[in-house]
């Protein structure tokens, strides 16, 4: 068992660490005002001589710091005012400084242009450097601090948190008790908290669905971005869709585009009593990809088996399958094995001239056709 001094919720306490033991817990609770910290996952008792003596009596084997707890609690960075009637020690009567029973704490008289005769003011002389910077807006909390595995694990536990690599900061939604949890966790460190107006924070433009609506954006007939007001039950329903992912940069859920997912999303919205809206978005200046329809040709089983034989990864298999389906649906009335080299070139020209695809998309399309011998 080990006892150390901590500051918990702005109160100096004695932290008691020991392996879980039901009998030891019952004995510890004999000390008045013994509390359990849900944040620190530890028991703590009052920072008083009486409580500490009782702890040593109950647990003679306890290890502790020499400074616990013979002195009174220290209030850091507090402005201490003393009235004229306060007794001063002989060594401080000339200077007007109040003698405090605080070992290793250096106090300095604050300099003012006009100092009242009836009081003196003292402050802590040396200010600690800021260890954690927190900027707060109405929607987000921005946290900057030195890298630490324990802190990273704690910050990663927040829902919808993400790391902004450009600005080297954590971004956490500002709702519920998130800010209070951060203050409680960093209470033993020097923290600078600033409030900022939303317009001072440069954020990417996002699409947000109206209240009572589930909105999907069909991006190039490849990805469906799903926007809706926060709803835990709705989120659980969305997550049942295959390959569903959270896109932190766009603040939305994404699923692969296909008619089945469109119908499922429409059904989920109706089941929750919400309106459903869908919009087709093209990332390029060209025409969007032809949508999937009732007679849409699916990728032949022989094609996927060939990719598996070549040991392609699951992600590559999914990408190539999707691109190959676009290719064979360009010639819907012709079997894939009968498509000529000239027709392949015509299709690639269509992608470049009409669809205005990128070079990488073009290369992927060529590679998607190659494995089956075209």
Note the pLDDT of residue 361: 81
Contact indicator for 210, 242 with CB cutoff of 8 Å: no
Strand 252-256 and strand 275-281: the pairing is: unpaired
Q: Do 187 and 159 share a structural domain? A: yes
Residue 292 is assigned to a structural domain of this protein: no
Contact indicator for 209, 273 with CB cutoff of 8 Å: no
For residue 325, the domain's CATH number is: 1.10.150.130
Q: Do 139 and 123 share a structural domain? A: no
For residue 231, the domain's CATH number is: 3.40.1170.30
Q: Do 113 and 138 share a structural domain? A: no
How far apart (Å, rounded) are the C-alpha atoms in residues 110 and 78? Answer: 12
Residue 296 is assigned to a structural domain of this protein: no
What tokens were used for 74?
Answer: 């220290």
Q: What angle do CA 68, 72, 74 make, to 5 degrees?
A: 95
Residue 293 is assigned to a structural domain of this protein: no
Q: Do 318 and 267 share a structural domain? A: no
- What is the secondary structure of 283-342 as a DSSP string? SSSSPPPPPP-TTPPPPPHHHHHHHHHTT--HHHHHHHHHHHHHHHHHSTTS-GGG--HH
Residue 291 is assigned to a structural domain of this protein: no
Out of 143, 165, 200, pick the residue that ends a domain: 200
The residues of the chain scoring below 70 in pLDDT are: 10, 65-128, 197-209, 220, 282-286, 371-374
Note the pLDDT of residue 206: 45
Largest CA distance in the chain: 106
Q: What angle do CA 49, 54, 58 make, to 5 degrees?
A: 150
Contacts made by residues 82-85, CB under 8 angstroms, sequence distance 24+: 82/119, 82/120, 83/118, 83/119, 84/117, 84/118, 84/119
User: Left, alpha or beta for 59 (phi > 0: left; psi -120 to 50: alpha)?
Assistant: beta
Q: Do 337 and 358 share a structural domain? A: yes
CB-count burial class (<10 Å; 0-12, 13-18, 19+) for 338: exposed
- What is the secondary structure of 4-57 as a DSSP string? EEEEETTEEEEEEE----HHHHHHHTTSTT-EEETTTTEEEEESSHHHHHHHHH
Q: Domain count for the chain, please give it.
A: 5
Q: What angle do CA 280, 286, 290 make, to 5 degrees?
A: 50
Beta bridge partners of 216: 226, 278
Note the pLDDT of residue 282: 60
Per the document, the length of the chain is 374
- DSSP class of residue 238 equals H
Q: Do 10 and 50 share a structural domain? A: yes
Tell me the three state secondary structure of residue 165.
coil
Note the pLDDT of residue 2: 87
Note the pLDDT of residue 20: 80
Residue 365 is assigned to a structural domain of this protein: yes
Q: Do 166 and 103 share a structural domain? A: no
Residue 250 structural domain: 213-281
Whether the model pTM is above 0.75: no
For residue 182, the domain's CATH number is: 3.40.1170
Q: Do 235 and 186 share a structural domain? A: no
Note the pLDDT of residue 270: 92
Q: Do 345 and 321 share a structural domain? A: yes
Q: Do 146 and 189 share a structural domain? A: yes
How far apart (Å, rounded) are the C-alpha atoms in residues 3 and 19? Answer: 13
Q: Do 309 and 258 share a structural domain? A: no
Distances from the Cα of 101 to the Cαs of 5, 71, 73, 107, in angstroms? 17, 7, 10, 12
How far apart (Å, rounded) are the C-alpha atoms in residues 174 and 214? Answer: 23
């Amino acid at each position: 068992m080990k006892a150390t001094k901590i500051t918990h919720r702005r109160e100096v306490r004695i932290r008691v660490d020991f392996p879980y033991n039901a009998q030891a817990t019952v004995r510890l609770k004999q000390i008045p005002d013994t509390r359990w910290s849900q944040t620190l996952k530890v028991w703590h008792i009052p920072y008083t001589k009486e409580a500490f003596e009782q702890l040593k009596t109950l647990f003679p084997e306890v290890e502790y710091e020499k400074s616990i707890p013979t002195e009174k609690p220290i209030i850091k960075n507090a402005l201490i005012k003393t009235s004229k009637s306060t007794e001063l020690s002989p060594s401080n009567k000339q200077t007007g400084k109040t003698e405090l029973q605080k070992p290793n704490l250096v106090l300095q008289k604050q300099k003012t242009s006009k100092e009242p005769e009836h009081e003196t003011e003292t402050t802590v002389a040396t200010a600690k450097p800021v260890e954690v910077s927190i900027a707060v807006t109405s929607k987000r909390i921005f946290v900057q601090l030195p890298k630490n595995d324990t802190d990273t694990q704690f910050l990663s536990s927040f829902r919808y948190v993400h790391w902004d690599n450009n600005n080297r900061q954590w971004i956490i939604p500002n709702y519920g008790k998130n800010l209070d949890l951060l203050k409680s966790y960093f209470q033993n460190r020097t923290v600078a908290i600033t409030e900022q107006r939303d317009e001072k924070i440069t954020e990417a433009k996002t699409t947000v669905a109206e209240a009572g609506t589930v909105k999907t954006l069909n991006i190039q007939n490849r990805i469906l971005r799903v926007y809706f007001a926060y709803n835990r039950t709705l989120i659980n329903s969305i997550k049942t869709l295959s390959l569903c992912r959270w896109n932190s940069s766009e603040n939305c859920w994404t699923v692969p585009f296909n008619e089945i997912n469109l119908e499922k999303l429409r059904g989920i919205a109706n089941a929750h009593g919400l309106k459903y809206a869908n919009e087709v978005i093209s990332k390029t200046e060209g025409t969007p990809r032809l949508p999937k329809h009732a007679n849409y040709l699916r990728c032949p089983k022989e094609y996927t088996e060939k990719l598996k034989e070549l040991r392609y990864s699951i992600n590559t298999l999914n990408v190539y399958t999707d691109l190959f389906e676009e290719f064979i649906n360009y010639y819907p009335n012709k079997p894939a094995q009968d498509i000529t080299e000239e027709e392949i070139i015509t299709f690639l020209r269509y992608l470049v001239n009409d669809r205005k695809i990128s070079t990488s998309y073009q290369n992927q399309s060529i590679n998607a056709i190659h494995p089956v011998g075209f």
